[in-house]
A and B are shown apart, each in its own frame.
Chain A
Amino acid sequence: MRALRHTLLGLAAALLLAVPLAAHAQAPEDIVKAGKLVVAIDTTVPPYGSLDAQMQPTGLDVELAQLVGKALAVPVEFVTVSSPGRIPALLTKRVDMVISIFSITAERALQVDFSNPYGGQSTVLLAPKSRKIAGPKDLVGLKVGATRGAIEDIVLTEIVKNNPGITYLRFDDGPSCAQAMLSGQIDAMGGGDYGDIYLRKSASGDEFEQKFVLRPNYFGIGIRKHNPALLHWLNTLLFTLKNDGTLDRISMKYRNKPIGDLPPF
């Protein structure tokens, strides 16, 4: 009995200690206080995130993260995540924010908060030029691949459900999916419309082309829910970066085209 009471007391004390810490919202000044900004990036998605010849992260998302860090006057620490690892990285507090072609969707917004968009990119279906594919119906009888958890996976899963006869393969990351495409294990793949960039760079390159748009996407910076001050500050920063031409400049640098229209929400 006495042991039980001690255990319960101990548990109560632990809870009392833990609760205020967990419930504390994160504001921009907390990041300043912590002395560093921890950002989740994916280094397998050029031109947004990749590793340069010195194995340092580079790309549009990486430069944006550095701009956020600069605005807070703290150094940026990068944590590499895969596409399905982005939300867990936030929820388990391994990172302060996700800047990793994180498309804004209502489903994801149940778990995390999105800033206003800082960029956009359509998700498309890619296939060899020689193959006649005009729409989802033409995929019947073919092997189609996508990266697990990416937007193209969500859209293609729906297409596969509505068009019986498509063999559908999910890969853990973009390069594996591109490899499957290059080695002929799949006939078509879902990807960003940047997809042709890395396919063209690979050995049997430029015979691939975009067939049809699966969904237009907008990327936001993802943070944990219930952090209104941080969210508002991020939106303010993005507003200024858009209006002073910074976003267009880094977009030209990495994607060879301006950032385009960014409808806020």
Chain B
Amino acid sequence: MDYQFDFGPVFAHWPELLQGTLLTVYLTAVATAIGLPIAAVLAAVRSYGPRLLGAIVGIYVEIIRNTPFLIQLYFAFFALPALGLRMTANTAAIAAMVVNLVAYAIEIVRAGLDAIPRGQIEAGRALGLGSLRILRHIVLIQALRVVYPALASQFVLQLLGSSLVSAIAAEELTAVANNIMIVTFRNFEVFGVITVVYLALSLLFRALLGTIHQRMFRWTT
């Protein structure tokens, strides 16, 4: 090997790396926080709502799940201005991430909804509960519990997928890594470092989601 490893020049850029990491976490956290409630509601609409609304949600899910995330990102940043909607790079990134995450999460939550026996809904009605209360206290809470591991995986995918948004000039971790590579030319070291950072972030995110899982869905069946 005639390549001399030297991590010094990379670590000298730690403030930028930290900033990039924080933006990655921020983008993922905001997209997840906005996306999950929307996905839960739209999944309920698709399963129990009026047929027309359900069909519209279905079309949305199919369009998003069958097109590349990069194109959705380009669409938000480069194409929407033609319609007069101009977002900053970070806003466009969050918007695209939410739109993408919601489509996948709807399908996951819907699988959970389908697992709830209809008899439980009827039992709720028999007890005189309103539709919204049945949805919230009987259906959604159980559905989310069933599909929680799948949802958690989707959120981690979202975290890793956020590396793509450097394409529209959002300065998250991958963009920062590329910036550092250009001034240090230390490509192995830079990508080595951010690989470790992404790995640590994913594991942390999983641990956090695991804790939430234990707190929220503690009851036994």
Contact = CB atoms under 8 A, between A and B. Distances in A.
Contacts of B3: 91
A106 interface: no
Interface string B66-88: 00000000100111011000100
A180 B169 contact: yes
B167 A22 contact: no
A84 interface: yes
A185 B77 contact: yes
A240 B181 CA distance: 36
Chain B interface residue number, banded: 20 to 34
B107 interface: no
A111 B182 CA distance: 11
A183 B178 contact: no
Contacts, number: 66
A185 B86 contact: yes
A169 B1 contact: no
B187 A169 contact: no
A23 B79 CA distance: 50
A158 to B, nearest CB: 12
Nearest to B164: A172
Given A145-B169, A176-B168, A84 B182 contact: yes
A179 interface: yes
A260 B32 CA distance: 55
Nearest to B169: A169
A110 B178 contact: no
A18 to B, nearest CB: 7
Most buried by A among B1, B169, B178: B169
A91 B167 contact: no
A71 B197 CA distance: 47
Interface in B164-216: 166-169, 171, 175, 178-179, 181-183, 185, 187
A36 interface: no
A172 B178 contact: yes
Contacts of A23: 2
A183 B76 CA distance: 11
B25 interface: no
A87 interface: yes
A184 interface: yes
Chain A interface residue number, banded: 20 to 34
B2 A172 contact: no
Contacts of B179: 148, 170
A172 B167 contact: yes
A148 B175 CA distance: 9
Contact of A149 (B86, B166, B168, B182): B182
A149 B78 CA distance: 21
Nearest to A170: B169
Most buried by A among B86, B168, B171: B168
Contact of B185 (A108, A171, A184): A108
Nearest to B167: A172
Contact of B167 (A92, A154, A176): A176
Contacts of B181: 84, 88, 149
B34 interface: no
A111 B185 contact: yes
Interface in A69-109: 84, 87-88, 91-92, 107-108
Interface string B145-169: 0000000000000000000001111
A183 B169 contact: no
21 contacts: A22-B1, A84-B182, A87-B185, A91-B3, A92-B187, A107-B183, A148-B175, A148-B182, A169-B89, A169-B169, A170-B178, A170-B179, A172-B166, A172-B178, A176-B78, A179-B74, A180-B78, A183-B78, A183-B81, A185-B81, A226-B2
Interface of A: 18, 22-23, 84, 87-88, 91-92, 107-108, 110-111, 145, 148-149, 153-154, 169-172, 176, 179-180, 183-185, 226
Given A148-B182, A169-B169, 12 more contacts: A22-B2, A91-B3, A148-B178, A169-B89, A171-B167, A176-B78, A176-B167, A179-B78, A180-B169, A183-B82, A184-B86, A185-B78
Interface of B: 1-3, 74, 77-79, 81-82, 86, 89, 166-169, 171, 175, 178-179, 181-183, 185, 187
